[in-house]
Structure 1
Amino acid sequence: MPRAALDPLVVGKVIGDVLDMFVPAAELAVHYGGEEIGNGSEVKPSSAAQRPKVQIKGAISPSYYTLVMVDPDAPSPGEPTLREWLHWLVIDIPEGSDATEGKEIMEYMGPKPPAGVHRYVFAVFQQHGLMETVKRKPVERQLFDTRQFARENDLGLPAAALYFKSHK
């Protein structure tokens, strides 16, 4: 994946607010319904109410991945006092398969932005083998910290990331 794929993440302030700069090492595809979303796409909350189909293709096989989905703009972009709000957490996703093949730690919650335009970030981390559980328990939805979670679980920098925007 070319480094230019990071540009929308920088412009959308995903790099900085949620993630550190990284070199993409996997491909991430997210589909709501039959539609693939791209970085910065606008998605209606009703279109994203159901869990998406998420596929991760890495260069190293076999490999396992962790998927984190957060809203860094909760409860509002002007005052993100609940940053980051965890919408979904799945570990042990086999390379090349859908996220539903992994172990769901936090059940999927679709976007419900109360005010303003919110960003919803999917970050994928390559694991060093099966995790089976996470080191930080309990995992809470509010005030989740993707960077801290990655550090605590020895995940390092993301292998891929994607975000979309949604508003009421």
Structure 2
Amino acid sequence: MQVNLGNTFSATETLTQPSVSFSAEPGYDPSKTKYTIFLVDPDAPGPAAPILKDFLHLIISNAQPSCITTQSRTTVASYMPLTPLSVAAHRYTFLVYRQPPNYTPPPSINYLPGVRNNFDLNAYVAQAGLMGPVGGNFFREGLASTVCAVTPGCTQEGTGYQAA
């Protein structure tokens, strides 16, 4: 599966952590430049009422472009599988930020209470001194993308989805 600017996946297709790769940034030596990758859900718990927006699903630091085959990536926040609570599809967004020289990732935030709900991406980026975003991509997933795979007449927006 490849994320391609808004394509749609089912819940079963996103159970495992995605493999994230990106091209070298023009003007920067790929062997000496490192990046931090975020995966956030700006639509949590649903696009109609995103009260938990920017729900954090993943942070990886010290990533390098795909042309660098020997990387030592650091997981700052481990992958939390996607569990959209709405029939309408959520936009799951990957953002790539350039790290400053001599960057040290913050301690793991995996188990800090409430850190994933309403994740303040802008504050994290400012505090860490990250630059960008220099790249990004997104895909969609909602209950309709899973339910509609087995429900005749259902659309990805949830039209035709039979309420219990």
Compute the TM-score of the two structures, normalised by the length of structure 1.
0.71
**Matched ranges for 1:113-152 at <5 A:** 113-115=84-86, 116-134=88-106, 138=112, 140-152=115-127
Q: Is the 8 A contact 2:36 2:97 kept in 1?
A: yes
- Give the 3 Å change call, closer, same or farther, for CA 134–119 of structure 1 in structure 2: same
**Cα distance per residue 1:90-129 (max 9 Å; x no partner):** 111133358x841101101121101121110000001112
Distance in structure 2 (CA, Å) of the matches to 1:38 and 1:65: 20
Q: CA RMSD in A?
A: 2.2
Distance in structure 1 (CA, Å) of the matches to 2:125 and 2:108: 10
94, 97, 120: which is aligned to 2:64?
94
Q: Is the 8 A contact 1:64 1:130 kept in 2?
A: no
Q: Is the 8 A contact 1:103 1:132 kept in 2?
A: no
1:130 offset after TM fit, Å?
Answer: 4.3
- Give the 3 Å change call, closer, same or farther, for CA 48–131 of structure 1 in structure 2: same
Compute the TM-score of the two structures, normalised by the length of structure 2.
0.73
The match for 2:22 is 56
Distance in structure 1 (CA, Å) of the matches to 2:101 and 2:46: 37
1:134 offset after TM fit, Å?
Answer: 2.2
7, 10, 13: which is aligned to 1:47?
13
* Partner amino acid, structure 1, of 2:97: F
The match for 1:153 is 128
Following TM superposition, the consecutive aligned residue runs of length 4 or more in structure 1 with deviations greater than 6 angstroms are none
Distance in structure 2 (CA, Å) of the matches to 1:65 and 1:41: 24
Moved more, 67-76 or 132-141: 132-141
State the SS of the aligned residue for 1:142: coil
Count of aligned pairs: 133
* Partner amino acid, structure 1, of 2:127: E
Q: Is the 8 A contact 2:36 2:98 kept in 1?
A: yes
List alignment gaps of at least 5 residues for structure 1: 1-34
